[in-house]
Amino acid sequence: MTDALSQHRHISFTAHYTGYIWYKMGISHPVFATSKGKFLAKMVHPLESWAEHYVGGSMRTTLKQRHQMIDEHLCQLIQQHPAIQVLEIASGLSPRSWNFRQKFPQLNYRELDLPEMAKTKTAALRQIDQTAPEVLSADIFSEELAEVFQVFNPAQPLVVISEGLINYFDQNMLFTLLKGITDYGQNFSEVHYLSDIYPEPIKNRLANFIWASSRLLKFMSRSAFSFHFKSPQELQQFFQQAGFTRVTVQQPQRYFVEPRPENQDIQQDEHLGDLVWMVHAVKKNSV
């Protein structure tokens, strides 16, 4: 695998890492995997293995869990609403748009990222699919996001996706993003939001270690990385205040173990100790 690092010099180290892990999982394409990602994955492998043994999970295990849960929910939404449209924000080196356009060729799936990342991702996509649409670019905390919503047909439902994103925002920033999705999506009959989120590690025996790791990630990523919620109820109330009418939380400990009726969520009321959750928030509008 070759990688022109100069083309990826602006990508954060977390995007490099996740892009390579998805490639190693067998769900991505070499154009989304960089040599820096390979180096980072090799460097943290001993720590990841230690965490999986003693903490009960690691960054790479949560990557797999969150990606699978989001993908399964997106498939269910497409089955329920064949004309649904997709907007993935801060998509980075995620292979999801490529994978889903292969499965559902008629799907209107658009990605959004910062200008340089959008340019790089568009070029990578078109190496493997010349018909791939251009990756959009906008400031998701400004009215530029409203212009992105105008790209879609309001007569059809819309699902917004983010992965590995919202823990990098403080609660005020997160509320601004959620309110933007519900406000700018008010002309659509339904707006869905699928996202992962890392809750406070209150039920993990190595919570102090996880907190210390999060502070290091906050420093290295120069972000506001933090844990926002201690329980699914706290999360639901926060999302409802931003305008969503139905909010469900999926926790891997139960999601991947208990049998689920097809297309049916299982609501969970307590923090089960998982490192990552998946959120499915819905707003239905009278249009």
Name residue, tokens 């009418």: 245
> What are phi and psi for residue 197, nearest 5 degrees?
-155, 145
pLDDT of residue 27: 84
CB atoms < 10 A from the CB of 135, how many? 23
> What are phi and psi for residue 64, nearest 5 degrees?
-65, -45
Maximum CA pair distance of the chain?
53
pLDDT of residue 268: 61
pLDDT of residue 8: 34
CA distance 159 to 110: 11
Structural domains of the chain, ranges and CATH numbers in brackets: 56-284 (3.40.50.150)
According to the 3-state scheme, what is the secondary structure of 102-132? HHCCCCEEEEEECHHHHHHHHHHHHHHCCCC
pLDDT per residue rounded down to tens, the chain (287 residues): 334 333 433 346 577 778 888 888 888 898 988 877 777 777 776 666 655 665 665 666 778 889 999 999 999 999 999 999 999 999 989 999 999 999 999 999 999 998 888 998 999 999 999 999 999 999 999 999 999 999 999 999 999 999 989 988 889 999 999 999 999 999 999 999 999 998 887 765 554 444 344 444 444 445 456 778 989 999 999 999 999 999 999 999 888 876 555 555 555 678 888 888 999 999 998 76
